[in-house]
Structure 1
Amino acid sequence: MRPRTLLLPAGLAALAVAPPTLADDHWPAPVRALTDQGISIHAEFEAPGGLTGYAASYPGGEVAIYLTPDGEHAVVGTLVDAEGEDLSRAALDEHVRAARNAELWERLETSHWILDGDPEAERVVYTFTDANCPYCRQFWEEARPWVEAGEVQLRHIMVGILASNSPAKAAALLGADDPAAALHAHSGSGEEVEPAAQPREIEEQVYANNQLFEELGLMATPTTLYRDGDGLERIQGVPSPERMIEAMGGEAP
């Protein structure tokens, strides 16, 4: 069984937006050296072949680190067995991706969204929506069978990114007396929402949603996020029929 090595991406240190928060002086020197380049260590785990594994992340993704038995060298990359099976994935899923997914889901929950559907529906799907986006309306329409059956609740995170009046339209929907009814009229009945001045608090909600959209590196509306087992999936644009079934958790009722 031999580790397949990957070179540390050039300029990794430049990608780090803050010093690693999990540095620990008891780590072997090669691992500490990697934290100086912008890698954060999340957990230590047992690995085959006398290696010690470290589940780590950097701003662009996750990576496994393997310390050699002598404690003097570290290999950065993916460990595979004789059949080519990835032996790093499980550790990264458990120690890095699960924590990141939980954090992201919490950020979605605390964003500013409009409920579409039964609040008691077991399946929750978040979608970034711009009032000027025709594809958001298409997604809204195609999701009706699941929403109206009470199987899925869509949570529309209102953003204003496509046109100069998009922020004002998003604020008008968030600030409506009945945001759900206003969104339904806009998306389903073709009643175009009119941009209107809103209290500063509502305008700041749109700004915060826009910031979240940018921080996640999203490029299009709708962008839809949903849980798939222990993972978190995202779809940019209108989902294909196959991806729609995945996002909604099953065939249309």
Structure 2
Amino acid sequence: MTTFPLRLLLKGALLSTALVATTAQAQDYPPVIQSLEQQGVKVVESFEAPGGMTGYVGEMQGRSLAFYLTPDGNHVIVGTLLDEEGNNLSAASIQELIEGPKFAEAWPQLENSNWVQDGSPDADTIIYTFTDPNCPYCYRFRQQAEPWIEAGDVQLRHILVGILKEDSLTKAATILGSENPEAALHDHQASYEQGGIEVDRKLVSAAHMEVKANNRLMQELGLRATPSTLYKDDDGVVMVQGLPNPQALERMMGPKP
């Protein structure tokens, strides 16, 4: 994971107008919000937030964030806002205003990427997941998904990338270039703890450019970890980064068979 340039603006930190420059920007934002723009934040949208605050969502180097202007207009809180029940209001705002529209627009790119089918072609639920052959969390995610795949409810589409280790790309290309990529993926999964699929240089030569294209797509979408998984629900497209917890898994795949 890359280091976030706003590392000094940690969860709950306050940024005061007394400490930053306030040169006017094209948008008519308060000076303290303008200061974030000067640090490279692209402000996407504002919304009414609890406690008399004004909420904002934005992006910095492809990474989404939420921040909140205090009622006095002189300070901004950068981080996560929770309600009394512990619900993450910041994540909900980011999903609704940034990530949902962004990934809905990108869905056709996922469909046209170089993926490996894993599951029934008749499955009701299609899920795209960026998978590195050397990623232990990708391996565990596939284990978690097994009941839904075996029941024919879910089809995973693995967008194979090579980013974690020196042989990640060659393993991914060996799977993707195989005569039966789904069988090769299953062989890799079955032997993962022993090192996974054996690299075939002929297959690597045939498919390495497809893996590189997947790497570029992942980078363009601002995804920095594997697995990064995208699926559709009633509200649009949702992205889950990393290994999903049981609740997220059921939101993604439905009730466990």
- TM tier, shorter chain? 0.5 to 0.7
Q: Of residues 35, 38, 49 in structure 1, which corresponds to 2:37?
A: 35
Q: TM-score, normalised by structure 1?
A: 0.63
Gaps of 5+ in 2: 1-10
Q: 1:48 to 1:208 in 2, by over 3 A?
A: same
Q: Which moved more, 1:164-173 or 1:190-199?
A: 190-199
Q: 1:45 to 1:193 in 2, by over 3 A?
A: same
Deviation at 1:43, TM superposition (A): 1.4
Deviation at 1:203, TM superposition (A): 1.0
Match of 2:3 in 1: none
Q: Distance in 1 between matches of 2:164 and 2:79?
A: 40
Q: 1:119 to 1:81 in 2, by over 3 A?
A: closer
Match of 1:249 in 2: 254
Matches within 5 A, 1:119-138: 119-131=121-133
Q: Of residues 192, 197, 202 in structure 2, which corresponds to 1:197?
A: 202
Q: What is the DSSP-based 3-state SS (H/G/I as helix, E as strand, rest coil) of the residue aligned with 2:208?
A: helix
Matched, 1:6 2:13: yes
Deviation at 1:208, TM superposition (A): 3.4
Q: What is the DSSP-based 3-state SS (H/G/I as helix, E as strand, rest coil) of the residue aligned with 1:197?
A: helix
Deviation at 1:56, TM superposition (A): 2.9
Matched, 1:217 2:224: yes
> Does the aligned pair in 1 maintain the 2:128–2:230 contact within 8 Å?
yes
Q: Distance in 1 between matches of 2:78 and 2:142?
A: 41
Letter in 2 for 1:76: I
Q: Which moved more, 1:112-121 or 1:141-150?
A: 141-150
Deviation at 1:105, TM superposition (A): 5.7
Q: TM-score, normalised by structure 2?
A: 0.62
> Does the aligned pair in 1 maintain the 2:66–2:80 contact within 8 Å?
no
Q: Which moved more, 1:149-158 or 1:224-233?
A: 224-233
Could you list the per-position Cα deviations for residues 207-226 of structure 1 after superposition, in whole angstroms to 9, with x for gaps in the alignment?
Answer: 233456676332x6xx2625
Q: What is the DSSP-based 3-state SS (H/G/I as helix, E as strand, rest coil) of the residue aligned with 2:126?
A: strand
Could you list the per-position Cα deviations for residues 63-88 of structure 1 after superposition, in whole angstroms to 9, with x for gaps in the alignment?
Answer: 2232757xx63533479899698896
Match of 1:17 in 2: none
Matched, 1:234 2:241: yes
Deviation at 1:115, TM superposition (A): 0.6
Q: Percent identity?
A: 35
Matches within 5 A, 1:96-115: 96-102=98-104, 108-115=110-117
Could you list the per-position Cα deviations for residues 217-247 of structure 1 after superposition, in whole angstroms to 9, with x for gaps in the alignment?
Answer: 32x6xx26254855432334xx777776565
> Does the aligned pair in 1 maintain the 2:118–2:155 contact within 8 Å?
yes
Q: Of residues 64, 67, 78 in structure 1, which corresponds to 2:67?
A: 64
> Does the aligned pair in 1 maintain the 2:128–2:231 contact within 8 Å?
no
Q: Distance in 2 between matches of 1:49 and 1:161?
A: 43
Q: What is the DSSP-based 3-state SS (H/G/I as helix, E as strand, rest coil) of the residue aligned with 1:145?
A: helix
Deviation at 1:45, TM superposition (A): 2.8
Match of 1:157 in 2: 159
Aligned length: 230
Letter in 2 for 1:114: V
Q: What is the DSSP-based 3-state SS (H/G/I as helix, E as strand, rest coil) of the residue aligned with 1:7?
A: strand
Letter in 1 for 2:209: E
Name which one, 1 or 2, has greater alpha-carbon Rg. 1
Q: 1:175 to 1:117 in 2, by over 3 A?
A: same
Deviation at 1:42, TM superposition (A): 1.0
> Does the aligned pair in 2 maintain the 1:64–1:92 contact within 8 Å?
no
Letter in 2 for 1:145: P
Q: Distance in 2 between matches of 1:187 and 1:83?
A: 42
Q: Distance in 2 between matches of 1:134 and 1:112?
A: 21
Matched, 1:207 2:212: yes
Q: Which moved more, 1:147-156 or 1:205-214?
A: 205-214
Could you list the per-position Cα deviations for residues 104-147 of structure 1 after superposition, in whole angstroms to 9, with x for gaps in the alignment?
Answer: 76665454210111233222233444456687666546644322
Deviation at 1:156, TM superposition (A): 1.8
> Does the aligned pair in 2 maintain the 1:124–1:155 contact within 8 Å?
yes
